Amino acid sequence: MPQIASETLANGLPLHRIHLDGTRATTILVAFDAGARTERPEENGMAHFLEHLVFKGGEKYDDYRKVNETAERMGGSLNAYTSHDLVAFHITVRAESAPDAIDLLTDFVGRPKLDQDELDRERGVVIQEIARYDDQPSAVAEHLIDRAAFGDHPLGRSVLGPAEHLRTFTRDAIVAFRERRWTGARGGAFIVGNTDHVAANGATAALFERFPTIGEPEPYEPAPAFVPQTLVERRDSNQSHLRMSYRPDIDVDDRAQRAAMTIYSTLLGGSMGSRLFDEIREQRGLCYSVYAMDHAYADVPVLQLSAGLDSSKCGEAYARMKEIVAELHADGPTEEEVQRARAYAAGRRVLAFENTNAVARYAANQAIVHGEDLDPDRAIEALDAVTFDEVAAIAKKVDPQTLSVACVGPHDADEF
């Protein structure tokens, strides 16, 4: 049973301690509602670029070598991520090193130098990162399906942004974005795992108060109505990368419906026993990779189907994948499918939560994106509690005829 204690610091930043028995590790994670969704059009790519820049040093650890070498001397795993939802920084260490890890993370993330010379150097690094992704057809397909599903809305833009934006970002603009979005009211700090070595006398809070006090940010732009598109990037290749995006008619504020959608996507394409894997891969041999995944943004759900396959088989696979969604809509799943998918999804969650970093990421998403409780046990209980009728209802809420499609390969849009 996790022991959870939460407080709000003087700078407005919520601090959550989640003590987990039976681990010798501690993860410290700080996150903000400052992902790609919160960027203005001309800022696209800035949230991710800022993530890179803070690693160049703060006040105490004032260059990238000190940041990296200090983490290594702790035996720590230090990293960060930017999504449409969040920007987050995290370090996982042995529990005895947690106080030093908090000192390190809050220094360079809470009070970064954002040095102009380092900015100019890192600009070229991120442009190379963008070029690398553009060379990967599967990554291009992910960008295309977001655009096909959300159009010009921020959720339809790439997290990395276009290279031409990176060339124009100034230090003043980046600082302004940080001062606008990295607010305690829309963020959180999380100490997860073995917290025995983390001081409870105010010293820990003082370190997290290195983050400046910033007022409430402007709200994110609501997700647009679903206007399905088909987008194809034609490439002369033998392999195609297919993506299909549906928008189930569910309430993302309803935790039970989100859990049922996870069970539905699992039986559809989330395991080797799923309908997509069994028929598209095993029975028909149409592809090596095929899967389904669900995601809930703050105000809109997404169900995505993906396949990587021989281009000559793309049309057949696409048609049959659509039919499988239609069959579930018309006839529903079987009791056995739901039982198996529920056990698999809950079991995967249990195994993931053996990792303190996974619990910290879950807690950040729960607190900042959904405004819900952080208890990882409740996440498992929510999956265990899903009923057959709830999953059958989700199947009915996926309109099989209304979907966006994206493909990279030797195809034209009218093939879909």
Give CA–CA dist 52/38, Å, rounded.
17
What's the burial of 354, exposed, middle or buried (CB within 10 Å: 0-12/13-18/19+)?
A: exposed
Q: What is the rounded (10 degree) CA torsion for 261, 266, 268, 273? A: -160
pLDDT band at 220; cut points 50, 70, 90: confident
Q: Determine the pLDDT at residue 59.
A: 98
Phi-psi region of 155 (alpha: psi -120 to 50; beta: other; left: phi over 0): alpha
Three-state DSSP at 220 gives coil
In the chain, the amino acid numbered 74 is: M
Three-state DSSP at 34 gives coil
**Which element (helix H / strand E) includes 141?**
helix 137-150
Q: Determine the pLDDT at residue 26.
A: 98
Q: Determine the pLDDT at residue 24.
A: 98
Query: Which residues does residue 93 pair with via DSSP β-bridges, in sequence order?
Result: 26
pLDDT mean over 208-219? 93
pLDDT band at 371; cut points 50, 70, 90: very high
CA angle, corner 390, sides to 387 and 392, nearest 5? Answer: 110
pLDDT, averaged across the chain:
97
pLDDT mean over 2-15? 96
Q: Determine the pLDDT at residue 366.
A: 98
* Structure tokens, 71: 């983490």
pLDDT band at 1; cut points 50, 70, 90: confident
Q: Residue 200: is its pLDDT beyond 90? A: no
* Structure tokens, 317: 């696979």
Q: How does strand 14-19 pair with strand 77-82?
A: unpaired
Q: Determine the pLDDT at residue 201.
A: 80
| Segment 143-159, tens digit of pLDDT | 999 999 999 999 999 99
In the chain, the amino acid numbered 106 is: T
Of 36, 179, 13, which is closest to residue 102 (Cα–Cα)? 13
Q: Determine the pLDDT at residue 306.
A: 98
295 φ, ψ (degrees, to nearest 5): -150, 140
User: Which residue has 């095929």 as its token pair?
Assistant: 290
Give CA–CA dist 260/255, Å, rounded.
9
Give CA–CA dist 134/233, Å, rounded.
11
For residue 212, how many other CB atoms are within 10 A of its CB? 15
CATH 3.30.830.10 location in the chain: 3-208, 230-415
In the chain, the amino acid numbered 186 is: R
Give CA–CA dist 343/345, Å, rounded.
6
In the chain, the amino acid numbered 321 is: M
With a threshold of 0.75, does the pTM exceed it? yes
pLDDT band at 399; cut points 50, 70, 90: very high
For domain 230-415, the question of CATH label 3.40.50.10860 is answered with: no
Question: Is residue 112 a contact partner of residue 56, using CB atoms and an 8 Å limit?
Answer: yes
pLDDT mean over 346-355? 98
Return the CATH architecture of domain 3-208: 2-Layer Sandwich (3.30)
243 φ, ψ (degrees, to nearest 5): -135, 140
pLDDT mean over 251-261? 97
Give CA–CA dist 266/367, Å, rounded.
24
User: For the CA atoms of the chain, what is the radius of gyration?
Assistant: 22
> Quick one: DSSP state of residue 120?
H
